[in-house]
Amino acid sequence: MRQRAATLLLVLGALAVFYALFFPKPASSGNSAPPPLSTESGPDGLAGAWQWLRLERVPVVSLRERYDQLERIAGVGTGNVLIVSLPQRLPMNRGEAEALSRWIERGNTLLVLAALDDTPRWASGAGPRLLADLMGITHFTFTLRPSSPAENLRSLAGSTTLLIEPRGSHPLLAGVQRVQDVSELPASHWIGTPSPGTTALAIAQQQAPDVRDAVMWIAPRRAGQEIVCAFAAAFSNAQIDHADNARLLANIIAWSRASAGRVIFDDAHQGLVDFYDPRAFFADPRLHATLWWILGMWFVWVLGSQALRSRQVAWRPVDETALIDASGRFFSVRVSGGEAARGLLKNFFDDIHRRLRQAQDGTPPWEWLAAQAAVTPAALARLRESEATVAAGKRVSLTRLHNLLVRIRRSIG
């Protein structure tokens, strides 16, 4: 039992070291609320707007690629509407910003729904990246406006209702008297300013006794345009049927989209992508469930059926005969018969040269062997015959040659 406990501790330590050194650990977004996707049917999703547009026979597309793929996905070059919600879960890179700007300026519309004056659950903890992404997508800058005591009191109350009314007359606000947006979390108040050289028109403002800040702008960008909203949840599943929210969305699509244009929902930058996203892969709960199952089965095998102590085997002395037989079999399959015979003869002749203090060159010392009385003429004749046969490249019996050399060695001492 003690041995299995030690094995378990060592296995857990090895897994911890492996996880710390090699396993990617993407930063947590700190927000578990579902993002505003066209496929999300929860209160914060945009599935209601998606289905409504489809029922009205408006072509809708879910963008699950980067912005540099807009031309391929939109199908037509101009008259499309791209709906982008901010903050984004998948950050936009510099190449995307340039591609998006070119796509808008060719004659398309960008509708930005930014969680500034409202804070949906999916936008909590956005931080300064929201402003950076907003400035990268639009030609606007936003600064925080100091709040009045009444606004601070309403913010502390938690969920607040943001009421929006038209500012002047514009086709986008035809038939729109009031837009309602419920902020489930406290929100700040921002002042939008167009970038230098940009012409923008504020078309809607907050409807409150002490606040008249603009919350919706339209700005031309060459042949295209951008519509920037300082609220993000007015077209969500929970809010689209309130007040004149649906009328405002219908006006935007009807006024901005060409007859062959499409309405594109930016799902990619909210985490729904068709390309490989390592952060999404390692955050997928199915991956973690699979790894836990594999780890559990491995623990069962290691600590259960796996034998941790080898069986004791009775001591057996080394069999010298078996060792010699194994060595002989090894050399028999690796060395040819002719090479083995030449090796036997060379070793035998070199032993004699070593005794006589002569050069060990493998040459036969026939004169010395003939002068040895202990070597019979018959044995010497067989040795000469075997040496000539081997030198001619012919086969000889290694067993007979070995026995002959052993007898001669014994004779000469």
For the segment 276-319, what is each residue's pLDDT rounded down to a tens digit?
Answer: 666 666 667 787 788 888 877 877 776 665 565 656 666 667 67
Among 54-58, 152-156, 188-192, 335-339, the least confident range: 152-156
Question: Is residue 102 in a domain?
Answer: yes
Q: pLDDT tens digit string along 148-180? A: 666 555 555 556 788 999 998 999 999 999 999
Letter for the amino acid at 244? D
Kind of pairing, strands 109-114 and 179-183?
unpaired
Domain that includes residue 133, residue range: 27-273
Whole-angstrom Cα distance, residue 331 to residue 337?
Answer: 10
pLDDT confidence of residue 298: 75
Q: pLDDT tens digit string along 371-409? A: 888 888 998 899 999 989 988 888 888 888 889 988 988
Number of domains in the chain: 2
Whole-angstrom Cα distance, residue 94 to residue 118?
Answer: 27
Question: Are residues 207 and 67 part of one domain?
Answer: yes
Question: Are residues 337 and 265 part of one domain?
Answer: no
Question: Are residues 84 and 195 part of one domain?
Answer: yes
pTM of the model: 0.63
Phi, psi (5° rounding) for residue 206? -70, 145
Q: Is residue 60 predicted with pLDDT exceeding 60?
A: yes
Q: Which residues of 86-119 are buried (b: 16+ CB within 10 A; e: fewer)?
A: bbbbbebeeebeebbbbbbebbbbbbbbbbbbbb
Question: Are residues 196 and 118 part of one domain?
Answer: yes
Among 125-134, 156-165, 193-202, the least confident range: 156-165
Question: Are residues 337 and 202 part of one domain?
Answer: no
Question: Are residues 111 and 216 part of one domain?
Answer: yes
Question: Is residue 19 in a domain?
Answer: no
Q: Is residue 46 predicted with pLDDT exceeding 80?
A: yes
Give me the helices (H) in 23-93, please: 47-55, 70-74
Is the distance from CB of 88 to CB of 123 less than 8 angstroms?
no
Among 64-73, 95-104, 324-333, 337-346, the least confident range: 324-333
- Identify the domain boundary among 273, 306, 339: 273
Question: Are residues 338 and 229 part of one domain?
Answer: no
Task: Write the DSSP string, 304-366.
Answer: IIS--SPPP-------HHHHHHHHHHHHHHHS-HHHHHHHHHHHHHHHHHHHTT---S----H
CA-based angle 260:71:62, to the nearest 5? Answer: 75
Phi, psi (5° rounding) for residue 141? -120, 145
Question: Is residue 140 in a domain?
Answer: yes
Q: Is residue 227 predicted with pLDDT exceeding 60?
A: yes
- Identify the domain boundary among 273, 292, 317: 273
pLDDT confidence of residue 122: 92
DSSP 3-state percent helix, strand, coil across the chain (nearest 5): 45, 15, 40
pLDDT confidence of residue 279: 63
Whole-angstrom Cα distance, residue 309 to residue 362?
Answer: 55
Phi, psi (5° rounding) for residue 226? -130, 140
Among 153-157, 211-215, 221-225, 324-328, the least confident range: 153-157
Question: Are residues 140 and 52 part of one domain?
Answer: yes
Whole-angstrom Cα distance, residue 65 to residue 80?
Answer: 16
Is the distance from CB of 214 to CB of 192 less than 8 angstroms?
yes
Q: pLDDT tens digit string along 263-275? A: 999 999 998 888 7
Question: Is residue 301 in a domain?
Answer: no
With CA atoms as reference, report the closest residue to 246 among 54, 52, 84, 61: 52
Question: Are residues 222 and 148 part of one domain?
Answer: yes
- Position with higher pLDDT, 198 vs 231: 231
- Identify the domain boundary among 258, 273, 288: 273
Q: Taking the C-alpha atoms of 48, 54, 59 and 63 in order, what is their torsion angle to the nearest 10 degrees?
A: 30
Across 69-91, average pLDDT? 88
Question: Are residues 182 and 258 part of one domain?
Answer: yes
pLDDT confidence of residue 216: 95
Q: What is the CATH number of the domain that holds 252?
A: 3.40.50
Question: Is residue 20 in a domain?
Answer: no
Question: Are residues 256 and 335 part of one domain?
Answer: no
Across 244-261, average pLDDT? 94
pLDDT interval class at 26 (50, 70, 90): low
Question: Are residues 361 and 239 part of one domain?
Answer: no
Q: Is residue 343 predicted with pLDDT exceeding 80?
A: yes
Question: Is residue 164 in a domain?
Answer: yes
Q: Is residue 363 predicted with pLDDT exceeding 80?
A: yes
Question: Is residue 323 in a domain?
Answer: no
The mean predicted confidence, pLDDT, of the chain is 84
Question: Is residue 303 in a domain?
Answer: no
Is the distance from CB of 282 to CB of 276 less than 8 angstroms?
no
pLDDT confidence of residue 333: 61
Whole-angstrom Cα distance, residue 33 to residue 47?
Answer: 15
